[in-house]
Structure 1
């Protein structure tokens, strides 16, 4: 068992991914989150490349971090000028970080064609820049860019570049698979050779263009690397960087290495989702270890086995990484699925009875029509409780009408008129919205707020439409998924119909009904 040092480059390399843009505030928040996770090095950006990163390095110094060391990133000096004359180097120095990450060229192709300089000058650029920052009292992490491609092209020169960095005083030499095309066998062989040529500890920086960044990083560690660089959720340019959310648990749980402080691994799932939220990206459901589906079970035979012994279909305890087991109820479900889900929802459900068989039959019929309860567990709970007569309807619809009007140069208006029965009273109201679904939502709330004031505290937070049977074109059935939130939690509901307004109404009313039921249930158990 060894200690493997993790350098997170989400805030630098991760932001080079398509569609990813983090504000300074976002970067500072993620820094605090990574520090709480226990990441020892956080690469915050390239201060010579943009004003945003300059501001980040100014403000990050004011954070009270627990243990993380902030590093700033830049290239070696440019050809033909001194370190003191290079503006990028001076900005890196002004960033004031205790550690710097310097990248230099290892591939003779890049030296000659990209830098338009000589192989000798490139070696001088590496030595001069590393020496400059060591003299300034900084820890130097040297990233040997394109090292593996360079080694395959000209092994002697590639090795000479990392020896130059080590001889100049670099604290770390990190071997980069910048194009992301290496195989694990190549990584292992070349890391071993590199370790024989330099006395400083080695690291690995892998990209995922061959879908092997995690495997390559683990192989590098097995071959002697002591630092792993990567990003949360594998964010990064092209196909992304090595995913730390997979690397860290594999190292800790499978390879016996230590990466994070004791007990911090359970914070991994929360951190992964937090970064996705700030990056305005949907968390990949099937992402290993931290995805919602990573420990989800759907097939009835699987669920039956998992309830007896989770090891039958799980490679580890999900709680170790802060995730949880999920059992899905669907057309593939059996009694085992329903039993597990009922227990999870604290529903007393008699099994192996006509009632339970009828519920399963009903769920399968609805899923055949297009309903999907895997991502709409509030609708599923309402379905189960209604079948067991465990709650009463809070309102009944008598009629609704939605009008959309478009006039030339006047924009579009939508209005919904609803007639509901609440208890013995009939309520007839109308409301406008920026679209028909928004108008429906506004009218429903307006009608119910007098009877259920707590509705003011909930709001619709997400709305998704999925077209089923695309061949039917505009007449196709649609599935609407709605996420509703209050001050404490969120829940998802589903509606399906050929008419998008009706599908939306189903999901909307389930969302409101679930909120009301949840409130009543909490009060009854207090």
Structure 2
């Protein structure tokens, strides 16, 4: 059977930017574009040059970029009603963007034509024809996005098809069917897409939102019905409930359905690209996200872990390295002796499953988890704990003391606390201070400031996420708190844990483990 080629259009920078709390700088947009080019998607829909000066600057900057096989697209609407297309300023700005491909959206739901555009059905079709013809006459390739197509087809199928035909006859080279409200189900998408594919001559695409949680399934259904062009955002964020998640769709189509969405050798970039975009967006990538989440190949239950070690396909649908992810054997009292022994053996090849030290570490682990530690979520702290038990731990520094000073109300809104810290490395003592927007932030800044004198590599490290959980709510403010800190050096991520009745002490434990973990893996201690 011949392999189907499926075009991927990533609209993270345009439709994704409409998500709540999402804001890209110009450099963010350029950097994300570079990552998507390296991944090998067919199209990057980068923005609407008529909407803001930042997008105009983007198109000026991207014109000099090596885009490999990826096409950069400008996005905009059909001409306004009753205005000649050549006089429409939005249309002119799209042309000035200079991209070889443009994405034009137009109305295909008669309700929208009457109630939103406030024009006639005939004028809307003329707006589509005129706009597509204009860009074709200027040598541009056109993708026509039929906005609200599925709602329009269910309400007035003849008119929805007329909108597509108007674009096709004017020269559009792709017709993309949009479930703009995100409320359709896979069987509806499949049936309607199949009918369209049978009636048009150009490739059909799909663009769906996730308002009923079916965006990935709907995209897959459209491809099964004949669509060969899929639009979405890379990790699914976007307006309201988000867009179809391309990191899932690409893997599903290419690894499960035998299609070709990106160059096969670039599939290993899937996870790295997802984490980079999450970082640029300042969003935590959901751990449970298929293929690219940190829990996608995580195993905790003893029977599952034992099965993985015997034959990985018993509990994994693909090898994690296929998409650039890694297997994560979670360490807890539920993990079983084999899982913990394998973690220990990776640190000391002389240790076996039945070694005395293995049993001692397991028993100590159970004690610590009973107290409230959570090593399954803090593998970096487990490694440091195990190294201590194995005699393979060498502290990077000694804390002599730290002092915190908070001001309420703060003199400066973003600097409510200061920390003075004194540390010793070898025979050298370093003392420094820092301000922060809270005691933990100030402690983090001060600690790294002191240690960077000895270990410059720590300048790469920053806190990515910080979580606090009260362990015994019944004892109120005297309760133990568990602090989980996720850190990153821009490439790798690791999590550490601290536990104490004092939130600063718990935070200190997690911070210390975080920096020492980085130094261990840099071979510096």
TM-score by length of 2: 0.90
1:134-182 per-residue CA deviation (whole Å, 9 max, x = no partner) reads 1111111011110101111111111111111111111111100000010
- Pairing partner for 1:191 from 190, 193, 216: 193
CA positional deviation for 1:472: 4.8
1:336-389 per-residue CA deviation (whole Å, 9 max, x = no partner) reads 211232344455433134432231222222223222223422211111111122
1:410, 1:73 → 2: CA distance?
A: 46
- Pairing partner for 1:381 from 365, 380, 383: 383
Q: Where does 1:398-409 land on structure 2 (aligned, <5 Å)?
A: 400=401, 402-404=403-405, 406=407
1:48-94 per-residue CA deviation (whole Å, 9 max, x = no partner) reads 11111111111110112211111111111111111012111111111
Q: Where does 1:387-466 land on structure 2 (aligned, <5 Å)?
A: 387-393=389-395, 400=401, 402-404=403-405, 406=407, 414-416=418-420, 431=433, 433-434=435-436, 435-437=438-440, 454-459=454-459, 461-462=462-463, 464-466=466-468
- Helix, strand or coil: the match of 2:341? helix
2:71, 2:453 → 1: CA distance?
A: 49
- Helix, strand or coil: the match of 2:22? coil
User: Which segment drifts farther, 111-120 or 472-481?
Assistant: 472-481
CA positional deviation for 1:257: 0.7
- In the other structure, the counterpart of 2:100 is 98
2:31, 2:132 → 1: CA distance?
A: 30
2:264, 2:103 → 1: CA distance?
A: 27
- In the other structure, the counterpart of 1:298 is 300
Contact kept, 8 Å, 1:14 with 1:237, in 2: the verdict is yes
Q: 1:102 to 1:343 in 2, by over 3 A?
A: farther
- In the other structure, the counterpart of 2:71 is 69
- In the other structure, the counterpart of 2:136 is 134
- In the other structure, the counterpart of 2:502 is 499
1:421, 1:84 → 2: CA distance?
A: 71
1:439, 1:127 → 2: CA distance?
A: 60
1:442, 1:78 → 2: CA distance?
A: 53
1:132, 1:251 → 2: CA distance?
A: 35
Contact kept, 8 Å, 1:465 with 1:478, in 2: the verdict is no
TM-score by length of 1: 0.90
- In the other structure, the counterpart of 1:157 is 159
- In the other structure, the counterpart of 1:257 is 259
Q: 1:153 to 1:499 in 2, by over 3 A?
A: same
CA positional deviation for 1:317: 1.2
- In the other structure, the counterpart of 1:474 is 477
- Helix, strand or coil: the match of 2:495? strand
- How many corresponding residue pairs? 516
- Helix, strand or coil: the match of 2:510? helix
- Helix, strand or coil: the match of 2:455? helix
**Unmatched segments (≥5 aa) in structure 2:** none
- In the other structure, the counterpart of 1:284 is 286
Matched, 1:212 2:204: no
CA positional deviation for 1:225: 0.5
CA positional deviation for 1:491: 4.4
- In the other structure, the counterpart of 1:509 is 512
Contact kept, 8 Å, 2:345 with 2:352, in 1: the verdict is no
Contact kept, 8 Å, 2:417 with 2:442, in 1: the verdict is no
CA positional deviation for 1:402: 3.2
Contact kept, 8 Å, 1:188 with 1:219, in 2: the verdict is yes
1:283, 1:361 → 2: CA distance?
A: 33
**Unmatched segments (≥5 aa) in structure 1:** none
CA positional deviation for 1:112: 0.4
Q: 1:42 to 1:513 in 2, by over 3 A?
A: closer
Q: 1:263 to 1:431 in 2, by over 3 A?
A: closer
Matched, 1:85 2:95: no
